[in-house]
Amino acid sequence: MMEVSEQYFFHSLSQEYGDEQIIQMYLAACAKVPNTRRNYYRALEHFREFLSGMPMKDVTWREIEAYKLYLSQGIYREGGRSLAPASVAAFIAPLKSFYKWGSDSSIGIFENNPTLSTKIPQIAITSRKNFLTKKEVGKLLDSLREQSLRNYLIGLSLVMLGLRVSELTHIRWGDFHTDPLETSIWLTISYAKRGKIREVKIPHKLWNLYTEHAQSLEESNDPDPDLLLFPISPRQIQRIIREAGERCNLSKKPTPHWLRHTNATLALLQGASLQQVQESLGHSHINTTQRYLHTVEQLKKAAPDFVQDCLQEFI
């Protein structure tokens, strides 16, 4: 009888969690990166405002779809302008993740998942255009090199490793290590999206520059393992890349994420496999990486090129 009573006691406690407590538990478990945590919290709080006092555990499919309509029809904004599909997705995706987590049988906070049949709006693929050519990368890197070793390394890290800005700003000297045979250097990315950890191989020339940079920061040949290599904000990095693009007169307006797109595009063009690019970029699903393959296939040889080959003697 005691065991049964204890089960009911803990079950009743779980029903007493308030929305704020549930949200904080979810964020602690599923959103470890500060930027992700901040965006997810904002989306969940915005949904709570829409609910006007209804507890999140009482939400059904109807409230989710009404909220989606509320966002997409422009009721959310002054002037009645609708949100772009990507913006609607940024509000709906955290809800789907939140309810999927809470309705898991091992969590048991929600009886069911009201977002199960809710679809995230389809987002146009922009990675086909948002990349730099080899020549443009060279001009950008030259511009960054003229400023400082730090800024040059920021650009190299983004385009050679395909890092996210949040990953770059959390690199510590102790995150670098050799393989078992000590033939190559690897970087442990422990501050990745959704808290996942991955390993990225560091090219030899890049490693030499990291070493020089770390030693200059500490004025020591043996830097502290906790040393942050880029102790600046993501916003500062965005500004560094943007201003470097302006200085070298690029017609495009590069961003750090453009350099991530460029990394994937150049890697595939040079013969890397989809799996290699997926692992390096930290994509959870191969479908995300395949988007870049469409770009690469178009760049390599398009249908008109084949027709030209066929009609070469008449042209």
Give first-to-last CA distance, the chain, whole Å. Answer: 91
Specify whether 78 is located in the same domain as 147. no
**Could you tell me the CATH number of the domain that includes residue 227?**
1.10.443.10
Specify whether 84 is located in the same domain as 161. no
Specify whether 158 is located in the same domain as 57. no
User: Is residue 253 in some structural domain?
Assistant: yes
Specify whether 98 is located in the same domain as 138. no
User: Is residue 114 in some structural domain?
Assistant: no
Domain encompassing residue 56: 2-102
Q: What pLDDT, on the 0 to 100 scale, is given for residue 72?
A: 85
Q: What pLDDT, on the 0 to 100 scale, is given for residue 194?
A: 61
Q: What pLDDT, on the 0 to 100 scale, is given for residue 58?
A: 95
Specify whether 159 is located in the same domain as 272. yes
Q: How would you write the pLDDT of the chain (315 residues) with one tens digit per residue? A: 444 444 444 444 445 789 999 999 999 988 877 777 888 999 999 999 999 999 999 999 999 999 998 888 866 555 666 778 878 888 998 999 999 999 999 999 999 999 999 988 775 555 556 788 889 999 999 999 999 999 999 999 999 999 999 899 999 999 999 988 888 999 998 876 666 788 889 999 999 999 999 999 998 999 999 999 999 999 999 999 999 999 999 998 999 999 988 898 888 888 888 778 888 888 776 666 766 666 666 666 666 666 677 667 767
Specify whether 85 is located in the same domain as 160. no
Q: What pLDDT, on the 0 to 100 scale, is given for residue 73?
A: 83
Q: What pLDDT, on the 0 to 100 scale, is given for residue 145?
A: 96
User: Is residue 52 in some structural domain?
Assistant: yes
Specify whether 95 is located in the same domain as 32. yes
Specify whether 161 is located in the same domain as 85. no
Q: What pLDDT, on the 0 to 100 scale, is given for residue 197?
A: 83
Q: What pLDDT, on the 0 to 100 scale, is given for residue 13?
A: 42
Specify whether 285 is located in the same domain as 140. yes
Q: What pLDDT, on the 0 to 100 scale, is given for residue 138?
A: 94
Query: CA-based angle 165:171:175, to the nearest 5?
Result: 145
Domain finish residue from 51, 78, 102: 102
Q: What pLDDT, on the 0 to 100 scale, is given for residue 79?
A: 61
Per-residue burial over 70-92, b = 16 or more CB atoms within 10 Å of its CB, e = otherwise: bbbeeebeeeeeebeeebbbbbb
User: Is residue 212 in some structural domain?
Assistant: no
Specify whether 235 is located in the same domain as 95. no
Q: What pLDDT, on the 0 to 100 scale, is given for residue 114?
A: 96
User: Is residue 98 in some structural domain?
Assistant: yes
Q: What pLDDT, on the 0 to 100 scale, is given for residue 1?
A: 40
CA dist., res. 229 & res. 134, Å (int): 26
User: Is residue 311 in some structural domain?
Assistant: no
Structural domains of the chain, count? 2
pTM greater than the 0.75 cutoff: no
Specify whether 166 is located in the same domain as 258. yes
- Phi, psi (rounded to 5 degrees) for 159: -85, -30
Specify whether 72 is located in the same domain as 155. no
Q: What pLDDT, on the 0 to 100 scale, is given for residue 232?
A: 94
User: Is residue 293 in some structural domain?
Assistant: yes
User: Is residue 163 in some structural domain?
Assistant: yes
CA dist., res. 220 & res. 216, Å (int): 7
Domain finish residue from 102, 123, 144: 102
Q: What one-letter code names the amino acid at 292?
A: Y
Domain finish residue from 81, 102, 123: 102
| Nearest CA-CA partner of 158 in 249, 88, 217, 245 | 245
CA dist., res. 264 & res. 308, Å (int): 29
Q: How is residue 26 written in tokens?
A: 């979810």
Q: What pLDDT, on the 0 to 100 scale, is given for residue 287?
A: 67
